[in-house]
Amino acid sequence: METRRTLDMTAGNRCIWFEQGDTVFVDRRFGARPSVVASWADLPFADGTFDFIVFDPPHCSLGSGRMAERYGRVTIAQLMQDIIAGSREAWRVARAGALMALKWSTHDIGLQRVLTHLPGWRPMFGHKIGVRTLHKSDVYWVLLARE
């Protein structure tokens, strides 16, 4: 039986994982202790390598504060460009029929807007997992299929 290859292209602190198995964790920050140090917009893997991808990109523009210090400062326009680049790179390293789990917060950009800017990925279903009241946003997990 063939082993399923899993990629977490935005690994961070891996707080979402129950079982890490043979998952490849990518982060550009050495402090996150990734399997591979790289940007999720320029992955060092061959085309069609993975069956399942997790994509939890930055969700909001960051100008200052703790989150900006941790993840860097970014505008909404940069954020959209990064998400499009990341989804294209995910599509490239995904095998035909692969799935991608996207985590998204509507802090600055609505979910539907993001979903229309993920070239090559078809949303299958999703679920709201939380509501933030301090910065008024909803958090979702969405499962997408590679077209």
The pLDDT tens digits for 31-87 are 888 999 999 999 999 999 999 999 998 776 655 566 666 666 678 888 889 899 999
Residue 131: C-alpha distances to residues 102, 138, 142 (Å): 17, 4, 15
**pLDDT at residue 135 tops 80:** no
pLDDT of residue 1: 41
Neighbouring C-beta atoms of residue 12, cutoff 10 Å: 15
Topology (CATH level 3) of domain 6-146: Rossmann fold (3.40.50)
Distance CA 98, CA 101 (A): 10
Mean pLDDT in residue range 21-38: 90
Query: pTM for the full model?
Result: 0.86
Q: What are phi and psi of 114, to 5 degrees?
A: -65, -45
Q: What is the DSSP string of 51-115?
A: EEEEE----S-B-SSHHHHHH--B-HHHHHHHHHHHHHHHHHHEEEEEEEEEEEE-SSS-HHHHH
Average pLDDT over residues 97-116: 92
Mean residue pLDDT of the chain comes to: 86
Joined together, the tokens standing for residue 85 give 């680049």
Closest CA to 53 of 103, 1, 128, 115: 103
